Chain A
Amino acid sequence: MSAVNSAAAHPEEHHDLPRGMKRWLYATNHKDIGTMYLVFGTLMLFVGGLLAELIRSELMTPAMRVLSPEAYNQVITVHGLVMVFAAVMPLTAGLANYLIPLMIGAPDMALPRLNNWGFWLLPPAAVLLVLPWGLKLLGIGTGTIDTGWTMYAPLSTQSGPGADFAFVAVLLLGLSSTMASINILVTVLNQRAPGMTMMKVPLFAWSWVITALLLIAVFPALMAGSIMQITDRHFGTHFFSAAGGGDPVLWEHIFWFFGHPEVYILLLPTAGVLPHVLSTFSRKPIYGYEAQVYSFCAIGVMSIVVWAHHMFTSGMPTAANIYFMLSTMAISIPVAVLFFCWFGTLWRGSMTFETPMLFALGYIVLFGIGGLTGLVLSDAAADQQYHNTYFLVAHFHYALFGGPVMGLFAAFYYYLPKMTGRMFSERLGRWHFWLTLIAFNVVFLPQFLLGIAGMPRRIPDYALQFAPLNLVSSLGAFVLGATQLLFLYNVLRTVFGKSGTKATDRVWEGAQGLEFTLPSPPPFHTFSTPPVTE
C-alpha cells in the first residue's frame, strides 16, 4: 500500500527506468509496450515471409517437389493467419501505442496494465498456431490447421487437431484485439491535451479510433464462430452441418462479417499514417483533414455491411448478390476521397523523396491497383470467373502488401529516427524501396494473368501452361524476400549502432505534430504535464 501512496504523492520521482527483463515483462509504459508490439510484429513478418518463400518454392515449377500436399495446405494457412493476425495487426497496434499518446499529448495510454495484457496474449496465440507442428514431430496429430485462413466448414469441422489449436488461438487474438481497442479508444476519448478537440486529433489517431470501433464491432462475432466450430467438432452440435439442419454457409457469413471489416482494420491505420508523411515531404499542410475523417467513418460503417462479396459463388439468392455487389462498389467512393486528399496534399508541394515518402508514394500506386482490381472482383457476375483464382490472390496482395505493408515501411522509416534518435541509412532505404517495388510487381503482376487464365489458388500443382509465369513470380518472390533483409539490417544498425547522424527533434524539415516537439528519442515519460495546444 505504501508503494501506491508514494507513487501517488510523487509521480515525478520515478525517473529511474525499470530495469532488466521486468521492464518488458511487467511493462506499463506505452513506448515499451509499443516497442514490443513492433518487435514481435516484425519477427512475425519474417516468419510469415519465410512461409511465403516455401509456397513460392513449391509453385516455382509444376509437379510436387518441395512440400507434401498436406504440408502445403498447412503452410498457406499459417502464412495467411500469421501475416494478418501476428504481423500486420501487431505492427499497427505497436505504432498506435507508441505514437498516439505522443500525438495527443497524453502521459501514457489510458489503461496501461490492460495494454500489457493485450500484448502478452499475442505470443501465446502464435505458439498455439505452430505448436501442432511440434506435436507432429513427436508423432502426435497431423500438424497444424490446413483449411486456408478462412477456415471454411466442413473442411474445418473435419480437419485434424491442429484446427482446435487454431480456433483457440483465434479466441486469444480476439481477446487481445478487444483489449487493445478498448484501450486505444479510451485513450483518444479521454487523454487528449487540453484544447485538442476531436477535430484536431491527428489523422493517425483518428484512423485508429475507427479501427478500434471496427474491432469491437466484429471480432466478437468471429470468437463466437470459433466456439461454434469447436462445439461442432467435438460436442455434437450442427451449426455448420446440414446433417442436423445447419449450414456450412453460415460459417462463411460469420467469417466474412468479421473478415471484410478486418481488411479495413489492416488498412486504416496506415491510411492514417500516409497523410502525415505526404504532408511532411511536400511541405504543405494536410489537404482535406475533415474529408479524411469523414471518409474513415464512412469506410468503417460501410465495411460492416458488404461482407458477402466474398461469397458470390456460394449460392446466395440473386437479390443478395446484387445488394452486396452494389454496396461493395459504393465503398470505393470514400476510398477515392482518401486518394483525392492524398493527391491534394502533394499538389504543388515542394516535394522531396526521402525513403518514407517513396514508400508512401508506392503505397498510393500499389494500393490503387489493389482497389481497382477489387472493383473488378465486386462484379457478382464476373466474379464467378475470378473467384478463388490467382486473380484474387493478386488483388489482395496489392491491397494488403501495397497498402498496409508499404504503409508500415513508410511509418517505420518516418518514425524510426524519432524513436531511436538516429537517422537510418538513406541509401539503403532507397535500395530497399526500389527493389521492393520492382520485385513486388514481378511477383504479383503475373498472378493477375495466371488467374484470368484460370489457375486456381490453394492448389500445390498446376497445368503446364501456367509454368512460365509461375517461374517469374517465384523468382520475384525470392528477390522480394531477400530485399527485406536490407530493411532488417538498416533498422538494426539504426537501433544498435553507435554511429550515424543524430536525429533532430523535428527529424524531417516539414514535420508537424506534438510528437516532433519532443526530443529524439523521447524520454521514458512524456507529457506528464499536458502540453497546451492552440
Chain B
Amino acid sequence: MSAVPDAHHPYYVPQPSPYPILLSGAVFLLGLGLALLVNSFAAGWWPLGLGALLLAGTLTAWFGRVVGETRSGVYGHQEERSFRWGMMWFIASELVFFASLFGVLFYERNIAVPWLASFTSRAWSAYTPWPHFSATWPSGGPAGRPFQVVAPWGVPAVNTLILLSSGATVTWAHLGLRAGRRGQLKAGLALTILLGALFLALQIHEFSHAYTRLGLTLHSGVYGATFFILTGFHGLHVTIGTIMLSAILLRALKGDFSPERHFAFEAVTWYWHFVDVVWLMLFVFVYWL
C-alpha cells in the first residue's frame, strides 16, 4: 500500500495535467457569477452554477488522482515533505486571513467607535452617525436601531464544548491509526464528523435566531458586520473541514493510510485544529468580552 521508494528515486514530476486550468476556469466562473449577481444580473446564476459544478468535479478528480499516485507509491519522503510544508504555509495564509478579520474587529471596537463618539459635543454632533451615539459595544445599528446580542453562555458555549471535543476525537482517531487500531480510527473520524455537523446545525440555528428574534443582522452597524463576517467565515471553514474529514473517512474505510504514512489524514487534522483555535478566539472576543 505505502511502498516506500528507494532513497535515491528522482523527485516525482507529474505529467501534464488538465486539472489546474480547469480549477482556474471554475474560480473564474464563480467570480464572474458573483460580480454579476451582486449587481442584479440574473444571468450571473449561469456562471455561478457552472463554476460550482466545475469546482466540485475538478477537485474530486484532482484529489482522486493524487490518491492514486499515493497508492502507487510514487511519493517518497521528499515529496511528502513538500506536501507538509505546502499545507503548513497554506494554513499560515489562512491564519493571516482570520487575524485580519480580528484586526478589523479590534479597530472598529476600540478605535472607530470611540472616535466617532468623541464628536458628541453640541458643536460637533453633526459628525456622529446618529444622535446620542456612544462609545459602547455593541454600538447599535445604523440610525440607532436596537438589536440584542447572542448570549455567550447559551449555544456558543455549547458549540465551544462541541468543537473542543471534536479536537479530542480526531486525536483519538490519530492515535488509533498510529497503533494500527483501524476500528478506533474509523470511529474517531465518524464521531468528529458528527460533532462538526452538530456544530454547523447549531450555528445555523443561531444565525436564524439572530435574524428573526434578536434583530441582529448584517445591517446592524459594525457590530453586526464584524459578528457575521467572523462567525460566517469560521462556519465556512468548519464546513470545508467536515467535507475533508468525510473524504478521509471514506479513504479509511477503503483501507488507505498506514500507521507510518498518512499525510492526508494529518493535513486534515492540522486544518481541523486550526479551525478549532479560531473558534476559541471567536468565543472570547466576539461572544464573550
Contact = CB atoms under 8 A, between A and B. Distances in A.
Residue from B25, B31, B90, B107 having most chain A Cβ neighbours under 10 A: B31
Interface residues of A, number: 87
Contacts of A217: 96
Contacts of B32: 128, 131, 168
Interface in B7-36: 10-21, 23-25, 27-28, 31-32, 34-35
A493 to B, nearest CB: 29
Contact of A234 (B28, B38, B72, B116): B38
Interface size class of B (residues with CB under 8 A): 35 or more
B240 to A, nearest CB: 15
Interface string B228-259: 11000000000000000000000000000000
Which of B32, B38, B74, B226 has the most chain A CB atoms inside 10 A of its CB?
Answer: B38
Contacts of A28: 13-17
A249 B112 CA distance: 9
A498 interface: no
Interface string B201-236: 000000000000000011111111110110000000
B104 A237 contact: no
Given A216-B92, A244-B129, A528-B10, A250 B101 contact: no
A238 B35 contact: no
Of B32, B112, B129, most A-chain CB atoms within 10 Å = B112
B198 to A, nearest CB: 27
B78 interface: yes
Interface string A76-111: 000000000000000000000000000000111011
Contacts of A113: 14, 17, 19-20, 62
A108 B13 CA distance: 7
Interface string A2-23: 0111011001101000100011
B162 to A, nearest CB: 26
A532 interface: no
Nearest to A179: B90
Interface stretch (A65-73, A148-156, A183-191, A339-347): A183-191
A60 to B, nearest CB: 35
B185 interface: no
A237 B82 CA distance: 40
B22 to A, nearest CB: 9
A131 B28 CA distance: 12
A60 B25 CA distance: 41
28 contacts: A5-B72, A7-B15, A22-B16, A23-B16, A27-B16, A113-B19, A116-B17, A121-B28, A124-B25, A161-B35, A164-B34, A178-B90, A182-B86, A186-B82, A191-B11, A216-B92, A216-B93, A216-B96, A217-B96, A221-B99, A224-B100, A235-B218, A236-B219, A245-B116, A245-B221, A247-B111, A253-B107, A525-B13
State the 8 A-B residue pairs at the shortest beta-carbon distance, nearest first. A124-B28, A26-B16, A237-B225, A247-B112, A117-B20, A120-B24, A8-B74, A221-B100
